[in-house]
Structure 1
Amino acid sequence: MALILTAATAIAYVWQPPEDRDYTSHYLSTVQSRYADTDVARFHYTKTGSGPAVVLVAGGGQWLYSYRDTIPVLAEHFTVYAVDLPGQGYTTPKRDDFRYDLDAMSGALGAFLDAMNLPATSMVGHSWGGAISLYFAERHPNRVDRLGLLASPGLNVPSSWDWRPLEIPVVGELITKLMTKASSETTQRKSFEHQELVTPELIDENWAVMSRPENRAALWAQQRRFDYSLTERLLGEVHAKTLVIWGAADHFDEPWQAAELARRIPNAQSQVFDGCGHSVHEDCPSQVIPLLETFLTD
């Protein structure tokens, strides 16, 4: 037993799994990657279109690739900034002790906006990216004009059982370090109702970034440190016109939260789509993206 515990601890805190460096992203070959150096991180992002600014924030374990269908549509009306926050995609934090809590993540989002010279912007966030966007809008109400929340936790309710093991010391580190492409695919498939959309490319694109050590560590860190009592307590502080979108077939976060968030956020509305999963904008793009477009342009 002592040997098992020693080995588990060594894997959790010393060993590093290999990063998938052999994969060449097809998506990145079709867009212009940009990087912005700040004191917080070297941010990877794309900038597309022209007009008022909209910033897109991906969910946990994902990156700006998740907005591949959203960006071209919104870019017809807006300058669209899709950003990888610390723990996502190809962004690299500047400090090894980056906290990955709501304060640190919203601070990173603010640092990116400052680097882009955006004193105020519209913002769309998915899942944990939505929680970060919501907290930023609560703390800095004058910097967010409109807020789109896609299956975004913000109420202080228990998280999905899928993620709770990450909260246990050693266990969470082991889970993320021992994650494989196959287990990553299983999680991605649970996020979609339309399984035909979980293509080999989608699996490869998300695994390539999820295999990065800092992105693996961000999963357990955010699950442990995101305190939704903070977001719930400040819901009334949001000044931005807000749209909450959810999939009725979300297997990670309960869809009833959409209406409750819209009830408690001033000037908010909600829409729940039948037959759509947690990655609602990827799973049901023909329904979600036009609604986002209308919300942001009205």
Structure 2
Amino acid sequence: MEKLPDHLKKLYPFTSNWIDTPGGKQHYVDEGEGEVVVMLHGNPTWSFFYRNLIKELSQNYRCIVPDHIGMGLSDKPQKGFNYQLSDHIENVVRLLEHLKVERFNLIVHDWGGAIGMGLAERFPNRVGKIVVMNTAAFRSQNIPKRIAICKLPIIGEFIVRGFNGFAWPATWMASRKKLSLQVKAGYLFPYHDWKSRIATHRFVQDIPLSEKHPSYATLLKVEQSLSKFQNNRMLLLWGIQDFCFDDTFLREWQKRFPKAETVELSNAGHYLLEDAPDETLERIQAFLAQ
């Protein structure tokens, strides 16, 4: 288990909690009381990505925000855990069952979209409002070359785990504004050596581009379940300057959910919560209060 250093606690002042999973101890934040909001991060972020939302929303909601196994302050097993989409979904299912959560709203980003909608597929009658931010929960062949390189055998692992060639570039490629040194340190803290970067590599490997991929069937099942949530209130909150989840992904969400409210942030990139912190908070608060 990772422990947050004191110099980052001002940015991330939350009580740490852990639950046992087949992959080790999973870290999660559980702050506030009231209606539950589950926030799910992607790669290479961790619950730190949601820190400002947690601070504000926890005044009126119960915010449950896990770090996927291998990410953030969770354990980072080197063997015995597959790091596949189904594993991450099962861990979130296990967490909500452990916390006896009967009803929840969802906020998802990046890989959190597929994981979160996989969670929703398991509990369709428990899901309330859904906030979708720069993510996918359906198959796509649209993968940037800079990410495709990280999928390559041998060299991809060398880039990602040896040189931190995923989390480190994200601190300046995923945001349209210059992140402070402290914020950069927060994003990079969990990924400081070869072993601690295992999940940042495995998440890239787990992008299913063909039917032969071990996570293809899981993603297809998630995709096929999306139609169950046509009547759920949904907010599509999108950083338009995202080099990875570009507007083609947004249009696919709009096609599948024509009733969804859409907010396009023209000056925000993939890390839209960093690029437009005030507007994203305001939009999400208003949406949840409806």
The TM-score with structure 1 as length reference comes to: 0.83
Return the structure number with greater relative CO, CA threshold 8 A, min gap 6: 1
Residues 54 and 121 in structure 1, CA contact (< 8 A), matched pair in contact too: yes
Amino acid at match of 1:201: Q
Q: For this pair of structures, how many residues does the alignment match? A: 276
The secondary structure found in structure 2 opposite 1:81 is strand
RMSD across aligned C-alpha pairs, in angstroms? 2.6
Matches within 5 A, 1:140-155: 140-155=123-138
Q: Is the 8 A contact 2:162 2:193 kept in 1?
A: no
Please report how far the alpha carbon of residue 185 of structure 1 lies from its aligned counterpart in structure 2 after TM superposition: 3.7
Give the Cα–Cα distance (whole angstroms) in 2 for the partners of residues 183 and 52 of structure 1.
35
- State the Cα deviation string for residues 236-269 of structure 1 (Å, max 9, x = none): 1336322221111112221232232132137533
Q: Read off the aligned partner of 2:123 and give its amino acid letter.
A: H
List 4+ stretches of structure 1 deviating above 4 A: 20-25, 212-215
User: 2:65 aligned with 1:74, yes or no?
Assistant: no
CA separation of 1:190/1:31 partners in 2, compared to 1, >3 Å: closer, same or farther? same
Aligned pair partner of 1:284 in 246, 264, 276: 276
Q: Shift of residue 22 of structure 1?
A: 10
* 2:45 and 2:167 in contact (8 A); partners too: no
* Residue of structure 2 in register with 1:164 after alignment: 148
SS at match of 1:142: coil
Map 1:1-298 onto structure 2 (within 5 A).
24-27=6-9, 30-92=13-75, 96-157=79-140, 158-180=142-164, 184-195=167-178, 198-211=179-192, 213=194, 215-227=196-208, 228-238=219-229, 240-265=232-257, 267-298=259-290
* Deviations 1:258-289 (CA, angstroms, capped at 9, x unpaired): 23213213753322111111111221111111
Distance 1:22 1:213, change over 3 A: farther
In 1, the alpha carbon distance for the partners of 2:110 and 2:188 equals: 18
Partner in structure 2 of residue 6 of structure 1: none
Residue identity opposite 2:17 in structure 1: R
Counterpart residue identity of residue 175, structure 1: I
Q: Which runs of 5+ in 1 are unaligned?
A: 1-19
Task: Determine if contact 1:243/1:262 at 8 Å carries over to the other structure.
Answer: no
Task: Indicate the SS of the match to 2:26.
Answer: strand
Query: In the TM superposition, what is the alpha-carbon distance from 1:55 to its structure 2 partner?
Result: 1.2
Aligned equivalents of 1:257, 1:22: Cα separation in 2: 34
Alpha-carbon deviations, 1:175-229, whole Å to 9, x = none?
A: 122124x87443211111122xx11111111211022555522123222223354
Contact 1:56/1:80 (CA < 8 Å) preserved in 2? yes
Given that residues 175 and 268 in structure 2 are in contact (C-alpha distance below 8 angstroms), is that contact kept between their aligned partners in structure 1? yes
The percentage of aligned residue pairs carrying the same residue is 21
- Aligned residue type for 1:53: V
Runs of at least 5 residues in structure 2 that lack an aligned partner in the other structure: 209-218
Does the residue aligned with 1:218 lie in a helix, a strand or coil?
helix
Alpha carbons 2:161, 2:193 under 8 Å: kept: no
CA distance in 1: counterparts of 2:155 and 2:108, whole angstroms: 28
Residue 58 of structure 1 contacts residue 64 of structure 1 at CA under 8 Å; is this kept in 2? yes
